[in-house]
Chains A and B, each alone.
Chain A
Amino acid sequence: MSLLDKHLGYRAPLDGIRAAGADPSAVRFDAVLSPTEGMLDGRKVILLGTNNYLGLTFDPACIEASADAVRQWGTGTTGSRFANGTFAGHTALETALAKFYGRKHAMVFTTGYQANLGGISGLVGRGDHLILDADSHASIYDAAKLSGAEVIRFRHNDPEDLAKRLRRMGDAAKGSLIVVEGIYSMIGDVAPLKEMVAIKKEAGAYLLVDEAHSMGVLGEKGRGLAEAAGVEDDVDFIVGTFSKSLGAVGGFLVSDEDNFDLLRIVSRPYMFTASLPPAVIASTLTALKRLEEDSSLRAQLAANADRLYEGLRDMGYAVGPHASPITAVVMPDQATAVMMWNALLANGVYLNLAIPPATPENKSLLRSSVSAAHTAEQIDAVLDIFERLGLEYGLLQRPRRASA
Chain B
Amino acid sequence: MGGSSMVELATDLTVREVARAAETVLGRSVQVTPETDIARDLAVDSLALMNIVMELEDRFDLSIPLDRLATVQTVGDLSELINKLRVKA
Contact = CB atoms under 8 A, between A and B. Distances in A.
Interface of A: 129, 134, 144-145, 148-155, 165, 168-169, 172, 357
Contacts of B51: 134
Contact of A151 (B57, B61, B62, B66): B66
B66 A152 contact: yes
Nearest to A166: B63
Contacts of A145: 67
Given A153-B50, A153-B54, A357 B67 contact: no
Nearest to B27: A362
B66 A144 contact: yes
7 contacts: A134-B51, A145-B67, A152-B57, A152-B66, A154-B54, A168-B63, A357-B45
B50 A134 contact: yes
Nearest to A145: B67
A149 B66 CA distance: 9
A172 B88 CA distance: 14
Contacts of B50: 134, 153
Given A165-B57, A357-B45, A153 B66 contact: yes
Contact of A152 (B45, B47, B61, B65): B65
A273 B54 CA distance: 35
Contacts of A165: 57, 63
B63 A151 contact: no
Contacts of B53: 153
Contact of A168 (B45, B61, B66, B68): B61
Given A357-B45, A357-B47, A151 B65 contact: yes
A148 B54 CA distance: 19
Nearest to A129: B65
Given A168-B61, A357-B47, A151 B54 contact: no
